[in-house]
Amino acid sequence: MSESVVRTRRWSRVEYDDLIEKHVFRSDERLELLGGELVVREPHGDPHTLAVELVNEALGAAFGPEWRIRVQLPVALDEESEPEPDLSVAPGRARDRREPKPSRLALVVEIADSSLAFDRAHKGSLYARARVADYWIVNLVDRVLEVYRDPGPDAAAPFGCAYRVVRRLSAEESIVPLAAPTARIAVADLLP
């Protein structure tokens, strides 16, 4: 039976933050607001958490002190989305406190095993709609890094936008972040 007969109530980011502030959610809940929907994040396995550490280390070295490397923290993506990407890179220093939840992201990285299809189609479309210029998926299933760039409209995508350039890089290759053009990260350093 199709779910399509039901229209669920969508939440704005302002409402979502209000729910958090009023302690509506349990403290052990891991949620993300994605396109107005409250989505539950699956618990992570060991390879996933290890990959988060590896990527964090590599990005810290590549971007340097003028960038914030944030691990599984909320980002103010758009009016109806507040995801918590595995890693996100934003300009500035955390102490500046101008933007507790950054909205201008230079790079978003998701680590994917069971969530691969979702991270590709759904989150990819959401990040493309928000014009995130550089989106990476550390694909633990195939042990490759997927690099998504050049976001643009795509009527077939879940949120109406998609990345037009997709590259799959294997362990022996390397990648230069768009926002850190002098740095080079070996894909092998990102894979557990």
Partner 1 sequence: MSEMPAKLRRWSRVEYDQLIDIGIFLPGDKVELLGGQLCVSEPQNSPHAAAICLAEEALRQAFAGGWSIRVQLPIALDQESEPEPDLTVVSGGPRDYLADHPTRPVLVVEVADSSLALDREHKGSLYARARLREYWIVNLVERVVEVYREPGPDATAFFGWAYRSIERLHAEQSVAPLAAPTTRVAVADLLP
Q: How far is the CB of 140 from partner 1 (least distance, A)?
A: 18
Closest CA to 128 of 147, 148, 113: 148
x/- contact string, 93-132, with partner 1 (CB under 8 A)?
------------------------xx--xx----------
107-112 and 134-139 strand pairing: parallel
128's tokens:
């493309």
Q: How far is the CB of 86 from partner 1 (least distance, A)?
A: 15
If the CB atoms of residues 7 and 97 are measured against partner 1, the closer one turns out to be: 7
Of the candidate spans 56-64, 95-103, 156-164, 174-182, the one that interacts with partner 1 by CB under 8 A turns out to be 156-164
Of the candidate spans 4-12, 83-91, 143-151, 168-176, the one that interacts with partner 1 by CB under 8 A turns out to be 4-12
CA distance 177 to 136: 10
If the CB atoms of residues 5 and 100 are measured against partner 1, the closer one turns out to be: 5
Among 12, 17, 20, 38, contact with partner 1 (rule: CB under 8 A): 38
Q: How far is the CB of 1 from partner 1 (least distance, A)?
A: 5
Residue carrying structure tokens 């022996």 = 172
- C-alpha angle with apex 147: 68 to 103, nearest 5 degrees? 35
Q: What are the DSSP calls for 40-98, one per residue?
A: EPPPP-HHHHHHHHHHHHHHHHHH-TTEEEEES-----BTTBB---SEEEEES-GGG-S
Site of interaction with partner 1 (CB under 8 A): 1, 3-9, 15, 18-19, 22, 24, 29, 31, 34-35, 37-40, 42, 117-118, 121-122, 158-160
